[in-house]
Amino acid sequence: MASPEPAASPEPGASPDPAPSRPASTRTGPGRLLVAVYALFALSASARAGVQIATKFSHAPVAYLLSAFAAVVYIVATVTLGVGSPTARRIALLSCSIELAGVLAVGTWSLADPATFPDATVWSSYGSGYGFVPLVLPVFGLLWLRYWARRSKTGGTIVASAEDTGEAAAGGAAHGAGGAPGHSAGSVG
């Protein structure tokens, strides 16, 4: 009767192996690069807007305020994608959606009425001054969040192989946590 309790205790020994195949948040895998690019844009847009507003605000107030707004959107996206919790992912979804709408609206506005934008913003001409990264970045952000939405609906576990499934069911017995693989699986059940 005492053997089922010791078989349950080796779970901490079994958890390090499956953990790499189950990312805990949006900041894993390709999400790390996404968060890094967002952080870079948050920093650059904030610095640019800060300097422009402080030194020559009257020259192009609309452009500079839109740059500041873009900086806030990038900061929110960076933080929420980095946190990766379900609530943060919902906020990141809103942030990336606002960003994409902003890039499209400001990009179109800047081409239709160049007099309003004597100086470029991050989103002017669809982000052409930044290699169109501001146009592509929210698309990648939304795709990454869509992946996580699907992952959450399917149960949220990613299993690398059928062998891992057997290990999870046996409580890590395949790694010798509870004796021989065949014996510990039988003693647990």
DSSP string, 97-118: HHHHHHHHHHHHHHHH-GGG-S
Q: List the chain residues with pLDDT less than 70.
A: 1-25, 155-189
- Per-residue confidence (pLDDT) for residue 2, from 0 to 100: 52
> Can you give the pLDDT at residue 27?
72
Six token digits for residue 124? 């002017």
Q: What pLDDT, on the 0 to 100 scale, is given for residue 159?
A: 40
φ/ψ (deg, to 5) at 84: 80, 5
pLDDT of residue 98: 97
Give the torsion through C-alpha atoms of 162, 166, 172, 178, to 10 deg. -140
Supply the pLDDT for residue 154: 76
pLDDT of residue 26: 74
Q: Which pLDDT does position 155 carry in this prediction?
A: 65
* pLDDT value of residue 165: 43
What is the pTM (predicted TM-score) of this model?
A: 0.68
**Encoding tokens for residue 119?**
């100086």
The rounded distance, in Å, linking the Cα atoms of 14 and 94 is 37
Helix, strand or coil for residue 135?
A: helix
Q: Where are the domains of the chain?
A: 23-156, 159-189
Looking at the chain, list the stretches that DSSP marks H as alpha helix, in order from N- to C-terminal side: 4-8, 11-14, 30-56, 61-83, 86-112, 133-153, 162-169, 181-188
Measured at the CA of 69, the angle between CA 65 and CA 75, to 5 degrees, comes to 145
Provide the token pair at 96: 């990336």
